[in-house]
Amino acid sequence: MFVYLSKKIAIPNNVKLNCIAWNKDQGYIAVAGSEGLLKVLKLEQFHILASNGQNKGNLAAVSNLSMNQTLDGHKEAVKVVTWNETQQKLTSSDLDGVIMVWMLYKGSWYEEMTNDRKKSTVNSMSWTSDGAKICIVYEDGAIIVGSVDGNRIWGKELKNTHLTSVQWSPDNRLILFGLASGECHLYDNQGNFAVRYYIHIHIQYIRT
């Protein structure tokens, strides 16, 4: 026996969505898009016990929304959202490069701090697994690592590079940066270069 349930969530005024992020620990979903749209949703879940002869199993299904909160603060389109699940924080950034950190307080999300470098757009952000540090990469090649309380730990600029993404290693000792050129640069957590990788894509055409 299989049961499938789906739920459609309407976004007001047909706003274009740019990104979405799921907080797997607490079940929150961040949805962001044009016109400064940033919403936090939470899905309630229940379990269905399916029984068919000797086969039994639990199926988690979505029932309704227990939260549908609009977060006001961004003036331009929100481009990046990422969760700090350990510290229960949400980080968002818009096309102006404004970064906002949101915190959960008494069941609702509130702005905790705002940062604006005023030079470039954020392309990617990543929190360490313990939620203590965040690495931010900008379109102009700037890299900033900061603490959860908003203090800058170190910064670096990669000249003539177009940074697109960033990810911490599971043990938080290394940081991997993705470039638009197809390269991946590996640094340690103090900002020292380790190694460069090249990503080659092979496309094979098959005649029919």
* H or E, element range at 145: strand 142-147
Domain membership flag for residue 151: yes
| Model pLDDT, residue 71 | 96
Domain membership flag for residue 7: no
Domain membership flag for residue 134: yes
Distance between CA atoms of residues 168 and 137, nearest Å: 12
Distance between CA atoms of residues 184 and 195, nearest Å: 9
State which residues form the domain around 160: 17-40+74-198
Least confident interval from 45-49, 63-67, 163-167, 204-208 = 45-49
Q: pLDDT, tens digit, for every residue of 90-116? A: 999 999 999 999 999 999 999 999 998
> To the nearest whole number, what is the mean pLDDT of the chain?
85
| Model pLDDT, residue 32 | 95
pTM: 0.81
User: What total number of domains does the chain contain?
Assistant: 1
Domain membership flag for residue 61: no
Query: Over 50: is that where the pLDDT of 157 sits?
Result: yes
Domain membership flag for residue 186: yes
Domain membership flag for residue 46: no
Tell me the residue type at 162: H
Domain membership flag for residue 150: yes
- Please give the span between the terminal C-alpha atoms of the chain, in angstroms, as a whole number: 40
Give the chain's largest Cα–Cα span: 65
CATH of the domain at 164: 2.130.10.10
Domain membership flag for residue 58: no
Token output for 92? 């968002």
Render 36-70 in DSSP notation, one character per residue: T-EEEEEEEEEEEEEEETTEEEEEEEEEEEEEEEE
